[in-house]
Chain A
Amino acid sequence: MAMRAAAFSELRFDRISRSFGPIEALREVTLTIRKGEFIALLGPSGCGKSTTLNILAGLLPATGGGIWLDERRIDTLRPEERGFGMVFQNYALFPHLNVRRNIGFGLAMRNVARGEIARRTQEAIALVRLEGHEDKLPAQLSGGQQQRVAIARAIVIEPPLVLMDEPLSNLDAKLRLEMRAEIRRIHASLGATTIYVTHDQEEALSLADRIVVMQGGGVRQIGTPDDLYARPASLDVAEFMGFRNRLSGEAIESNGSETMVRVGAAHLRAAGAAPVAIGMRGTLVMRTADLSPAPQDASTIQARVTAGEFRGDGFVCSGASEDGAELWFTSPTRVAIGETVHLRVEPGRARFYPEAGA
């Protein structure tokens, strides 16, 4: 099965906005997506990612801006005229139709010939590996199988765009990993341009070619998974990408790419997104995995252990720094609660964000 209808080269959001009464759910979102890309819209709940998807699908009108598929404006079209395949969070399978007729629904609505519907439906069933379940009703399927039907139903119409709205959020952890691999496989075999909404950064990192981080109704950063993981552009994004530890400090030395930050008595080396001037105050962030106990020296932070949790390959612990900040770190060995430890950051893993206006 190949995507035949995918004849466009780019999808453009041009300052798309949406307000609900006085509340601005989406503020001038501008975004360009190339054909064949797998884009993840990532953000906490209420950030506007689902609103963006619903506007793209035509289920919600935008209150400002336009969406263009190459030179064709599509945000004024009705959903049935756009021809995008959408996978809903609760799957939205038609409960009165069996698997075959659910998947063939879009083709039947397009008055495709009976024989071709049967052939393409069977192809899609094979693609999502649901052979043998063709005559079952959705209620007779497991969550993962329902998910597969929803995906097959969306892609069988060979849409130029596949939209997925948190498709894995209703599955248990094991099934989620399986379906993630499945979605990756289907994308690889069809090459369909996919826009995938999720609040799970791991999901976004593992699936997407590019990630769009959204927050408060706006786009905060667009980048490859590598980029976002290693170099979040702002403190908000860093926090969302798992930089859990936050320490306030002051820049005492900077060479453009690296900054020496003084946190209490410790001097730590950090990378940063923006150029930093000497004397600037700001926030130093690092991941739990990049902070661990080490012999005391000028670059270590002192903390008192408050809790420890066994994670199989080691311990994840929390502690309080001298100025009371909460710290999360990993330790290969058990540390006693109340004990004082000296924590060192993996070289190159800390990032410094100067305070705005400082």
Chain B
Amino acid sequence: MAPAPSARAPFDGVALLAAPAVLILCALFVYPFAYGLWLSFAPAVGGALANYRKFFGDPFLYGTIATTLWLALPVTLLNLVVAVPVAMRVRLMRNQRVLTTILVLPITLGVVLIAQGLLTYLGPQGWFNRALMAIGLVSHPIRLVHNYWGVFLSLFLTGLPFTFLLTLSHISGIDPALEQASATLGANARQRFFAVILPLLAPGLAIAFCLSFVQAFSVFPSAILLGAPAGPTRVISIAAYQAAFEDFDYSMASAIAMLMGGVQLAIIAAVLGLRGLAYRGPAGGGKG
């Protein structure tokens, strides 16, 4: 008779190979997080919840959540809406790599460089406004920097390559024969996209949304450089920065950072929850 399977697997020495990684993770992530969490409940004055009470009692502070969401959610959605058709097209191209390289270039340039570039390009004396005035579309320069739209555009430009790459890899995983099959069954391009491609792409898009959203939600440099950090683009990371480095209230800064993480987690949980409703099996059409 075979021995009954034991509830605990026997100790495997190979598992020790994971130890360095676990240690690094603890040192760089788990410890700072736990410390921050503890710090947020240990304000200089007041009880354990004083920071949180202060945050939610002050519209100048709790308003930053809405401000940040109002930037991050539309930007992430726009990124996806633009990335999907581009990826659909690039997937069919023979010299994919050239185009992919061009599209990915902004990632390598860094956020600050792009912000600086946009500042001059979109500014009142920039090419964009001058071109608009030259063709007579506007009589005065339109204001595109130091407000919501400056930050929005910068986030869009820096986020798009990232979203595009994620989307491209998901789209490439869909068997082209499925699209051909649906075409022979009478589906036009629009029907093929909505009945076959999109349902198979949905789980991948959910992941792309989460990753792009997290990036956009932690916006900081462009909100300061291209936005109006005192008003319309006073995002949550600015509030945390001010608490830490202008008021030197690390406890409050930690509380804001924890809230920031909480909001991100809530959005991601909601998106992944929706993803659970979609089909998540293989995106191939059968054997072979």
Interface check A109, CB cutoff 8 A = yes
Residue A59 lies at the interface, judged by CB distance under 8 Å to chain B: yes
Does A96 lie at the interface of the complex (its beta carbon under 8 Å from any beta carbon of B)?
yes
Residues from 185 to 201 in B contacting A, C-beta threshold 8 Å: 185-188, 191, 195-196, 199-200
Contact A92 B175, beta carbon cutoff 8 Å: yes
Contact between chains at A90 and B287 (CB < 8 Å): yes
Find out whether the CB atom of A90 lies under 8 angstroms from the CB atom of B288.
Answer: yes
Interface residue from A84, A90, A139 paired with B175 (Cβ < 8 Å): A90
Given A79-B180, A86-B181, the answer on whether A106 and B186 have CB atoms closer than 8 Å is yes
A105 touches B185 (CB 8 A): yes
Q: Which of A77-91 contact B (CB under 8 A)?
A: 78-80, 82-86, 88-91
Contact B181 A96 (CB under 8 A): no
Of A59, A85, A108, which is within 8 A of B180 by CB?
A: A59
**Residue from the list A57, A94, A106, A146 in contact with B178, Cβ < 8 A:** A94
Chain B residues with CB under 8 Å of A108's CB are 195
Q: List the B side residues contacting A92 at CB < 8 Å.
A: 175, 177-178, 180-181, 285-286
Task: Say if the beta carbon of B284 comes within 8 Å of chain A.
Answer: yes
Which residues of A154-205 have CB atoms within 8 Å of chain B's CB atoms?
154, 157, 163, 170
Q: Is the CB of B182 within 8 A of A88?
A: no
Contact status of A96 and B199, CB under 8 A, knowing A109-B186, A143-B287:
yes
Chain A residues within an 8 Å CB radius of B184: 57-59, 79-80, 82, 84-86, 154, 163
| Pairwise interchain contact B287-A95, C-beta atoms closer than 8 A | no
Residues of B within 8 A of A58 (CB): 183-184
Interface size of B by CB at 8 A reads 27
| Chain A 56-79: CB-based contact to B (< 8 A → 1; otherwise 0) | 011100000000000000000011
Q: Are B284 and A89 in contact (CB under 8 A)?
A: no
- Measured as residues with beta carbon below 8 angstroms from the partner, the interface class of chain A is 35 or more
| Interface-located stretch among B70-78, B156-164, B256-264, B275-283 | B275-283
Q: Are B182 and A109 in contact, CB atoms less than 8 angstroms apart?
A: yes
- Distance between Cα atoms of A85 and B187 in the complex (Å): 12
A80 touches B186 (CB 8 A): yes
> Considering the chains assembled together, what is the distance between the CA atoms of A92 and B287 in angstroms?
9
Mask for A105-121, Cβ within 8 A of B = 1, else 0? 11011100000000000
A146: contacting residue among B183, B187, B286, CB under 8 A: B286
Q: Tell which of B180, B186, B191 has the most Cβ of chain A within 10 Å.
A: B186
B186 to A150, Cβ gap below 8 A?
no
A139-B199 Cα distance, complex, nearest whole Å: 16
CB distance from B193 to the nearest CB of A (A): 12
Contacts of A88 in B (CB 8 A): 177, 180-181, 285-286
B177 and chain A: residue at smallest CB distance: A92
Knowing A79-B180, A96-B279 touch, does A90 contact B286 (C-beta < 8 A)? Answer: yes
Q: Which A residues are in CB contact (< 8 Å) with B178? A: 92, 94-95
Closest residue of B by beta carbon distance from A141: B286
Q: How far apart sit A86 and B195, CA to CA, in the bound complex (Å)?
A: 18
Assess whether B285 is in contact with A95, with CB atoms less than 8 Å apart. yes
Taken together as a complex, chains A and B put the C-alpha atoms of A45 and B133 apart, in Å, by 62
Q: What is the 8 Å Cβ interface bit string for chain B, positions 114-142, against chain A (1 contact, 0 not)? A: 00000000000000000000000000000
Identify 12 residue pairs between A and B in the complex whose beta-carbon atoms are under 8 Å apart, listed by A's number. A59-B180, A59-B183, A82-B184, A85-B184, A88-B177, A88-B286, A89-B288, A90-B286, A95-B200, A106-B185, A109-B186, A109-B187
Q: Which residues of A contact B (CB under 8 A)?
A: 57-59, 78-80, 82-86, 88-96, 105-106, 108-110, 137-139, 143, 146, 150, 153-154, 157, 163, 170
Assuming A85-B185, A146-B287, what are 20 further A-B pairs, CB within 8 angstroms? A78-B183, A80-B185, A80-B186, A80-B188, A83-B186, A92-B178, A92-B180, A92-B286, A93-B286, A95-B200, A95-B281, A95-B282, A96-B199, A105-B182, A108-B195, A109-B182, A139-B281, A143-B286, A163-B184, A170-B288
Interface residues of B (CB under 8 A from A): 175, 177-178, 180-188, 191, 195-196, 199-200, 278-279, 281-288
